Amino acid sequence: MRILLVEDDMQLARGLHQSLRTEGFTANHVSSANAAWLTVQTNECDMLILDLGLPDMDGMSLLKKIRQHNLRLPVLILTARDSIDDKIKGLDQGADDYLSKPFDVQELIARIRVIERRLGTATSSVVNIAGVELDASAHLVSYAGQALDLPRKEFMVLKILMEQAGRIQSREQLESKLYEWGEEVASNAIEVHIHHLRKKLPEGFIKTIRGVGYSVAKSL
């Protein structure tokens, strides 16, 4: 899931940005409402984490603008405004969730995963397909009850494919997501990761769609 963090506190933004990537999310950061609006219009994010105290426009006004254009982009408000009236106003304006500062990062991640489950093909942080179980929260993969030893990049590639089960992911899409997570991506890295994964997974689990990309079926 591609998350856009809209936050003008640069120290907080850097910490959150790193935490989101560590948890396996694709995360980008902007510090103004106008930059966020441009990104939203180009459909380059799946979810918004929105601070209300922005320098060029109040975050609530940005949220209202998004909803006026009938954009059903999930929005989680992250703000120092912690009164009940502020929370009610934010939710009434169309926010999907509201978290007050200061906050625990793990609580934020848990709330994001609730939204993620609504968006993707995964119904929880644990995805099970044909005996292959991937726990996104614990960063664990097992097959037929036996834990698999996957390096970080292999885990990320498998996570993308399983959470988007039934959808084809091109090599370029996989490379882009690894790069956005701060990983070095060599020219043939995806092919190598897929090759290694296939040695550890059931035969035919990862399918190659020639000239297009790779996919995992929703059920095998």
pLDDT, one tens digit per residue, over 27-49 is 889 999 999 999 888 877 889 99
CB neighbour list of residue 13: distance below 8 Å, 6 or more residues apart: 5, 7, 29, 31
Residue corresponding to tokens 């980008």:
28
pLDDT at 120: 59
Q: How far apart are CA 8 and CA 51, in angstroms?
A: 8
In total, the chain counts a number of residues equal to 220
CB neighbour list of residue 191: distance below 8 Å, 6 or more residues apart: 171
Contact between 127 and 136 under an 8 Å Cβ cutoff? The reply is: yes
Rg of the chain, C-alpha, whole Å: 19
Residue 49, beta-bridge partner list: 5, 76
The CA–CA distances, whole Å, from 6 to 27, 77, 181 equal 11, 10, 18
pLDDT at 192: 92
**What does the DSSP 8-state code read for residue 33?**
H
pLDDT at 125: 67
Q: Which of 121, 105, 112 is nearest to 75 (CA)?
A: 112
pLDDT at 87: 82
The sign of the torsion formed by the CA atoms of 132, 134, 140, 145 equals negative
Q: How far apart are CA 180 and CA 23, in angstroms?
A: 12
Q: pLDDT for 171-211, tens place per residue?
A: 888 887 776 555 566 678 899 999 999 999 999 999 999 88
pLDDT at 123: 45
**CATH superfamily to which 2-119 belongs:** Response regulator (3.40.50.2300)
User: What rounded mean pLDDT belongs to the chain?
Assistant: 86
Q: How far apart are CA 129 and CA 56, in angstroms?
A: 46
- Domain boundaries defined on the chain: 2-119, 126-216
Q: How confident is the model at residue 10 (pLDDT cuts 50, 70, 90)?
A: very high
User: 177 or 15, which is more confident?
Assistant: 15
Tokens representing residue 10 in the block = 């640069």
CATH architecture of 126-216: Orthogonal Bundle (1.10)
What 3-state class would DSSP assign to 169? strand
Q: How far apart are CA 207 and CA 145, in angstroms?
A: 22
Q: pLDDT for 122-170, tens place per residue?
A: 445 688 898 999 987 778 899 988 999 999 889 989 998 988 888 888 9
Q: Does the pLDDT at position 92 exceed 70?
A: yes
**What does the DSSP 8-state code read for residue 120?**
S
Tokens representing residue 21 in the block = 């990537």
∠ CA 207-210-215 to the nearest 5 degrees? 30
Residue ranges in 42-170 assigned as alpha helix (H): 59-68, 84-92, 105-119, 152-163
Pairing mode, if any, of strands 47-50 and 2-6? parallel
Of the candidate ranges 34-38, 83-87, 106-110, the one whose mean pLDDT is the lowest: 83-87
pLDDT at 141: 94
pLDDT at 122: 47
